Every structure is written in structure tokens, then in C-alpha cells.
């Protein structure tokens, strides 16, 4: 057999955020590097060298600060516009290898390789790695298999191998590979399922593969049985080639410093609302419901915890910043309680719909709806051209004392020529 039916590659960028920082700062190549989450809170990307020093994924920064100082680990605040930009370049490159591509996250994509001969798959994978590295500077790992879950598993092993590519199509090694994968590293098996499986003596992907369908169906849900079937090589999760528009839009941030006053919460909620409204306008969507939530730190056990959320159904579909802010602030007042040190606030727009479905509401309370639409367009245009928040509304505040911390920013902007890396012949 030359052609197997399903051939799916998972291409995953290695330590993606770290790799992006390295592009613009070659002096940190081969050095231990970490990138921190918003607010410099947690470690969310680590170079191999940092992993070897024992830095764990998702660990709070203050807990690893000692190791960082001791080993001179380079630290960066996250720079999402940079990573987004590099991600687009990587995905564009991948599309050349297969137009049937599902962009699964900022740093990984599934490719349909069904048109490639079985015997050529490994070499094809090598080519992808080579070209992506050459064109974008980003190193990748590739797993190729007959289902998404298996290609994830193959990728997991590929990351640890020097070759960087593992092909499981027609491979006699599948079971050997699955034996190496711990149950909690299987795609689709999270904390709860891990607990359950381990209790039932299922400790590896291989053991899960060999459980009877009946048992899995009886004891887990559709998710569980899908994952197990996929490990057996039965495709249950299809490739989503068409990028669906999002159904919800959430914007939230932790504060750089704890917030107590309603005024400051108002500024934050207003800012988040403006950002969310801009996002859905760019995607050509409207919303019907807005949720506002605030909370104190769940980690400070010595203080009372308070978290609350409330939503409001809007009288009509909209993406008008001013209207959304107005409604959000009314809700915020309802849930705000004096005397707490708030750690985070955010909003969620849900029930998003395509703007084409939007029917002009006769009872719209926004007077001059057309004018307002033009105003929004003008704001978006200005902000794209002159930088985010070039144009805002007064309610969002100017000082933003609550704003996030970014003490390790590399300040790289891919739109800025001076910062482009120099090429030496």
C-alpha cells in the first residue's frame, strides 16, 4: 500500500515565544531564556536550557526568581503583537506545503498530507522543518499519523528527538511510542481524567489504547471515548480547514497593583470594553450580551475572597463601543463591593453574530446610528494607524495606575525598521 487514507501532520513551534525573542536577539541563543505571562506573573515559555534548570511551565515567577538569578536566565515580558506577527509568517509558510491546514493555536497547525506518498512522508516532514526555519527562523517539531490525537502523540516524542520528525504512518513503532507517553500527556486528557485513569491503573497512552470501547464509554464521556478511538487509529476529530468566527470575546487583565476604588475599576472595565468592541468590529460581528466580572486574589488565603459576575442582555445587537461601555458600567456598579482589594476585572461579549445577520433595530436607543457607525470606523482606523488607544474615550482614564506590569519587555516591534535583525553575508 502506497497511500494510506488519512495522513495528518502536527507542526509545532519549539518554545515559540522564546524562539521569537531569539530572532531579534541572537545573543540569547543557546542560553536559558523564559518568557513571562501578562503582569510578569507566570512562566509561559521556556528554552530547553531553562527546562533543564528545572523551571516548570506555568510556575509563578516569584517562585523561580532565585533559580533565574543564580543561573543568569534571561527573562522577557510577553510581547503578543510580535508573536502574532511571527505566527502569521510561519502559517503562511506552512500553507505552501498543504493548503488544507488548520491553524490550531498561535504556535501549531495541523496539515493534511493525504496527497503525499507514504514512503515520502518523513522526507516531506524534514523539508517543512528546513524551510520554516530558513524563511522565518523558527525551529519546529513535526508528528505525522493517521489521526490528530496520534499526530499530537508523535509530535510529543519528536520534540525530544534530534531529528524533529516522527512518522507513525505504516510504522511498527506505534505501540512503542505510545508506551513512552504518560497518560496526562495525551491530548484530551486533563487533570480530572488523569486522576480517574491512574486510579484504574491506566498510566500510558498505550494502556488507554488497549482499553475496551465499552469500558471507556461507560466510565467517561464522548470526549474520553473519542480520544481512545483516535489512539486506536480511528479518526474521530476532523480537520477544521475553515476558520470559524469566534462565538465569544473575552478581554480581562490582572492589575499591576491591587485596586480598591470603583473609579479605577470603571477605567479598567471601560478599557477592556473598548478593546473587545474593536475586536468584534474588526471581525464584522455584533453582540447581544455582555458579562462583567471582578474578583480579588484567590491566592491570598488570609483575606476574604470576593468574586462576582453579572450579565446584561442588550436591547439590540450592537458593536458600538460607547453603548457597550455604558451598559458595562451599570452592571459593574451592581457587583462592586467596597472594602476589597481587587486583583482582576474583565468582560465577555457573548452570542456573537455576523454583522450581515444584524437587523437594524427600530427601537434602537442610539440616536443617529449611522453616524455612530462612522465614528467607530474612524476610531478603529486611527488606532490601527497610530497605535492602540491613540483614540479612546475619557472614561478609560489616562493614568491607568492599575495597568499591568511589564518589567522585562524587549520592546520589539516588527513594524519598526531599526529593530530588524541584521543579515551578515
Q: How many residues bind DNA (CB under 7 A)?
A: 47
Instruction: Please identify which residue in 28, 174, 189, 216 interacts with DNA, judged by CB under 7 A.
Output: 189
- Verify binding: residue 222, DNA, rule CB under 7 A: yes
CB 277 within 8 A of CB 319: yes
CB 175 within 8 A of CB 233: no
Q: Which is nearer to DNA, 29 or 57 (CB)?
A: 57
Q: Build a one-symbol-per-residue string for 101-130: x at contacts with DNA by CB under 7 A, - elsewhere.
A: ---xxxxx----------------------
Among residues 357, 219, 331, 226, the alpha carbon closest in space to that of 272 is found at: 331
- Verify binding: residue 251, DNA, rule CB under 7 A: yes
Q: Which long-range contacts (CB under 8 A, 24 or more apart) does 22-26 make?
A: 22/47, 22/137, 23/86, 23/137, 23/138, 23/421, 24/82, 24/410, 24/412, 24/419, 24/421, 25/410, 26/421
**Min separation Cβ 3 and DNA, Å:** 28
> How many secondary structure helices (H) and strands (E) does the chain include?
14, 13
In the three-class reduction of DSSP (H, G, I as helix; E, B as strand; rest coil), residue 421 is classed as coil
DSSP state of 299: S
Instruction: Please identify which residue in 4, 25, 31, 60 interacts with DNA, judged by CB under 7 A.
Output: 60
CB 113 within 8 A of CB 126: no
- Verify binding: residue 246, DNA, rule CB under 7 A: yes
Question: In the range 136-165, which residues lie near DNA by CB under 7 A?
Answer: 152
Instruction: Please identify which residue in 14, 23, 44, 137 interacts with DNA, judged by CB under 7 A.
Output: 44
How far is residue 269 CA from its own chain's centroid? 22
CB 128 within 8 A of CB 114: no
Question: In the range 258-297, which residues lie near DNA by CB under 7 A?
Answer: 258, 279, 297
* Sheet of 101-105, strand order: 101-105, 108-112, 8-13, 140-145, 165-167
**Min separation Cβ 139 and DNA, Å:** 15
Binding part of the chain for DNA, among 37-45, 46-54, 66-74, 375-383 by CB under 7 A, reads 37-45
Half-sphere exposure of 265 (CA within 13 A, CB side): 29
Helix (H) or strand (E) holding 259, with range, is strand 248-259
Only one residue has cell 516548570, namely 56
Binding part of the chain for DNA, among 69-77, 166-174, 239-247, 354-362 by CB under 7 A, reads 239-247
Q: Build a one-symbol-per-residue string for 359-398: x at contacts with DNA by CB under 7 A, - elsewhere.
A: ----------------------------------------
CB 261 within 8 A of CB 269: no
Binding part of the chain for DNA, among 116-124, 205-213, 221-229, 259-267 by CB under 7 A, reads 221-229
- Whole-angstrom distance, CA of residue 34 vs CA of residue 49: 10
- Verify binding: residue 192, DNA, rule CB under 7 A: yes
Instruction: Please identify which residue in 159, 253, 400, 408 interacts with DNA, judged by CB under 7 A.
Output: 253
Instruction: Please identify which residue in 127, 170, 219, 300 interacts with DNA, judged by CB under 7 A.
Output: 300
Binding part of the chain for DNA, among 36-44, 91-99, 328-336, 394-402 by CB under 7 A, reads 36-44
- Verify binding: residue 194, DNA, rule CB under 7 A: yes
Contacts with DNA by CB under 7 A lie at 37-39, 41-42, 44, 58, 60, 62, 104-108, 152, 186-194, 221-223, 244, 246-254, 258, 279, 297, 299-300, 311, 343-344, 346, 404
Amino acid at each position: 500500500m502506497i497511500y494510506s487514507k488519512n495522513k495528518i501532520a502536527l507542526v509545532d513551534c519549539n518554545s515559540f515565544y522564546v524562539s521569537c525573542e531569539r530572532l531579534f536577539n541572537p545573543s540569547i541563543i543557546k542560553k536559558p531564556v523564559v518568557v513571562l505571562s501578562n503582569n510578569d506573573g507566570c512562566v509561559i515559555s521556556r528554552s530547553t536550557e531553562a527546562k533543564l534548570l528545572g523551571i516548570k511551565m506555568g510556575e509563578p515567577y516569584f517562585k523561580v526568581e532565585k533559580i533565574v538569578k543564580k543561573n543568569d536566565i534571561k527573562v522577557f515580558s510577553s510581547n503578543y503583537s510580535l508573536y502574532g506577527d511571527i505566527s502569521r509568517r510561519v502559517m503562511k509558510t506552512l500553507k505552501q506545503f498543504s493548503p488544507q491546514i488548520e491553524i490550531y493555536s498561535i504556535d501549531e497547525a495541523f496539515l493534511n498530507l493525504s496527497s503525499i506518498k507514504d514512503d515520502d512522508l518523513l522526507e516531506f516532514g524534514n523539508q517543512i522543518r528546513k524551510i520554516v526555519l530558513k524563511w522565518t527562523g523558527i525551529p519546529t517539531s513535526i508528528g505525522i499519523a493517521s489521526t490528530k490525537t496520534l499526530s499530537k502523540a508523535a509530535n510529543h516524542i519528536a520534540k525530544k528527538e534530534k531529528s524533529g520528525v516522527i512518522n507513525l504512518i505504516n510504522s511498527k513503532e506505534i505501540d512503542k511510542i505510545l508506551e513512552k507517553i504518560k497518560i496526562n500527556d495525551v491530548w484530551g486528557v486533563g487533570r480530572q481524567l488523569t486522576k480517574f485513569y491512574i486510579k484504574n491503573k491506566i498510566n500510558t497512552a498505550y494502556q488507554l489504547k488497549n482499553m475496551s470501547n465499552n469500558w471507556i464509554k461507560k466510565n467517561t464521556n464522548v470526549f474520553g471515548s473519542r480520544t481512545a478511538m483516535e489512539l486506536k487509529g480511528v479518526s474521530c476529530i476532523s480537520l477544521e480547514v475553515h476558520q470559524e468566527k469566534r462565538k465569544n470575546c473575552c478581554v480581562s487583565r490582572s492589575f499591576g497593583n491591587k485596586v480598591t476604588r470603583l473609579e479605577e475599576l470603571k477605567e479598567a472595565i471601560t478599557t477592556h470594553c473598548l478593546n473587545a468592541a474593536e475586536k468584534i468590529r474588526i471581525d464584522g460581528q455584533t453582540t447581544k450580551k455582555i458579562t462583567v466580572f471582578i474578583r480579588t486574589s484567590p491566592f491570598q488565603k488570609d483575606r476574604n475572597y470576593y468574586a462576582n459576575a453579572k450579565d446584561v442582555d442588550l436591547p439590540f445587537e450592537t458593536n458600538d463601543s460607547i453603548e457597550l461601555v455604558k451598559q458595562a458600567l451599570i452592571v459593574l456598579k451592581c457587583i462592586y463591593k467596597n472594602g476589597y482589594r481587587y486583583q482582576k476585572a474583565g468582560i465577555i461579549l457573548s452570542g456573537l453574530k455576523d454583522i450581515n445577520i444584524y437587523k437594524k433595530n427600530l427601537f434602537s436607543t442610539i440616536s443617529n446610528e449611522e453616524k455612530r457607525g462612522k465614528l467607530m470606523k474612524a476610531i478603529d482606523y486611527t488606532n490601527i494607524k497610530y497605535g492602540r488607544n491613540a483614540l479612546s474615550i475619557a472614561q478609560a482614564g489616562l493614568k491607568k495606575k492599575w495597568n499591568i506590569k511589564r518589567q522585562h519587555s524587549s520592546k520589539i516591534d516588527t513594524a519598526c525598521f531599526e529593530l530588524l535583525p541584521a543579515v551578515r553575508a
